[in-house]
Chain A
Amino acid sequence: MKALVIGCGRVGSSIALQLQQEGWEVTVVDENEDALSRLGDHWPGLFLVGHGMDVDLLREAGIEDADAVVVSTDGDNTNLVIGQVAQKRFAINCVVVRVLDPARADFYAARGMRTVCPTKTAIDTLTEAVRACEIPIPTKASA
């Protein structure tokens, strides 16, 4: 199974390492060559420096044979566009896109994109953590 990870920050690099450990053949793309260091000292896969909007670079990174594409740069709109390019131009079925803004994540999810919104996850998890403290809420006096 081949995966392409675009954006090698804290999130992208961890996903790349995780998938690689699970037996995927992973290629990583990032604008900044220093991002390679996030993949450890012995990254066995391909690492390409460039912008994910560059179709030639995507081809070089093997997008045409990819089974999954993960888009996790630090720009929501960049991710949304690259995700659609992977879906529509390269017909990749499994495209996962990181979107920090919950509203945009919902809008594009409704249009058939697998968006993942860490902000929403954080909100849910934190709210749940507060509930788990089980602090009694005084009942409101009825009028």
Chain B
Amino acid sequence: MYVIVAGGGKVGANVARSLLRLGHEVTLIEQRRDRFDRLEEEFEHQVQRGDATELHTLERAGIARPPDIVLALTGDDEDNMVICQIAKEKYAAPKVIARVNDPRNQAHFDLLGISPTICATSSIMALVEHEVPEHDLIHLLELRKENLEIVEVLIDRDSPSAGKRVEGLALPEGARLISVMREGKAEIAVGSTMLEPGDQVLAILEPGKEDELRKVLLHR
């Protein structure tokens, strides 16, 4: 397949090298002169110098063919968003992948319909949540299109929700309990379900409601 990689930093250069090793055709685009000179020694004609948000740079790299996929991997989120929009909407590139540098910009990528995205910070944070056992609210699944997420909460002895029925909890608006796992058996959470210490509770909620949910279930 043919791939355009925008951004020749560590991420872009390593991705381009890996794709080339797999036998794919790649054009790497790098704007900075010093970086380009170093890349040219390795990638030769497969790297081009230019601003990948400029139409003529992309055209020189063969965007009009169009490539099978465009990877926007620069260190600038706004540049990555514009590259993806131009590739998809002007040149009908069938697929794009965008790198998110600042996780706070994720919402902007989503708003502009740019998907899939990859954010190193978010991936590391998700791993931290999985790896560090004392973390009390674990993100299991992000349903980005639906603007919902599924989290797991462990009820302990000090939790204010222990010993209460689900219908008696003042759950925040935009949050519902899905299921309760007790001694290896899961049950769908209904109004009459009683929460007990040791329960692993799955909840579905709008992102941003975690603290409110944590307060009701764990009082922290």
Name A's B-contacting residues (CB within 8 A): 53-55, 75-78, 80-81, 84-85, 88-89, 101, 103-104, 107, 111
Interface residues of B in 60-80 (CB under 8 A from A): 76-79
Total cross-chain contacts (CB, 8 A): 46
**CA of A89 to CA of B110, assembled, Å:** 11
**CA of A111 to CA of B88, assembled, Å:** 13
Extra pairs beyond A80-B82, A88-B111 (18, CB < 8 Å) = A53-B78, A53-B105, A53-B108, A54-B104, A75-B78, A77-B53, A77-B78, A77-B82, A81-B77, A81-B82, A81-B112, A84-B111, A84-B112, A85-B108, A88-B112, A101-B54, A104-B54, A104-B86
The count of chain B contact residues (Cβ–Cβ below 8 Å) is: 19
**CA of A11 to CA of B64, assembled, Å:** 35
Top 4 nearest A-B pairs (CB, nearest first) are: A77-B78, A103-B55, A77-B82, A78-B78
Known: A54-B104, A77-B78. A104 touches B53 (CB 8 A): yes
| B54 contacts across to A, CB distance below 8 A | 101, 103-104
Known: A77-B53, A77-B79. A107 touches B111 (CB 8 A): no
| A75 contacts across to B, CB distance below 8 A | 78
- Residue from A54, A55, A107 within 8 A of B86 (CB atoms): A107
- Residue from A78, A81, A89, A111 within 8 A of B89 (CB atoms): A111
| B86 contacts across to A, CB distance below 8 A | 104, 107
* A104 touching B82, Cβ below 8 Å: yes
Interface residues of B in 123-150 (CB under 8 A from A): none
User: Does any Cβ of A come within 8 Å of B90's Cβ?
Assistant: yes
* Best-buried of A75, A78, A81, A103 by chain B (most CB within 10 Å): A81
Residue of B nearest to A103 (CB): B55
Known: A77-B79, A104-B53. A85 touches B111 (CB 8 A): yes
| A78 contacts across to B, CB distance below 8 A | 78
> Interface digits, B138-175 against A, CB 8 Å rule (1 contact, 0 not)?
00000000000000000000000000000000000000
User: Does any Cβ of A come within 8 Å of B22's Cβ?
Assistant: no
| B108 contacts across to A, CB distance below 8 A | 53, 81, 85
Known: A84-B112, A104-B53, A111-B89. A77 touches B104 (CB 8 A): no
> Interface digits, B77-105 against A, CB 8 Å rule (1 contact, 0 not)?
11101100010011000000000000011
Nearest CB of chain A from residue B98's CB, rounded to whole Å: 12
| A88 contacts across to B, CB distance below 8 A | 111-112
* A77 touching B107, Cβ below 8 Å: no
* Best-buried of B79, B82, B90, B112 by chain A (most CB within 10 Å): B82
Nearest CB of chain B from residue A56's CB, rounded to whole Å: 9
Residue of B nearest to A79 (CB): B78
Residue of B nearest to A107 (CB): B90
**CA of A111 to CA of B55, assembled, Å:** 16
| A54 contacts across to B, CB distance below 8 A | 104
Nearest CB of chain B from residue A25's CB, rounded to whole Å: 27
Residue of B nearest to A81 (CB): B78
Residue of A nearest to B56 (CB): A103
Could you jot down 14 A-B contacts, CB within 8 Å? A53-B78, A75-B78, A76-B53, A77-B53, A77-B78, A77-B82, A78-B78, A80-B78, A80-B82, A81-B82, A84-B112, A88-B111, A89-B111, A104-B86
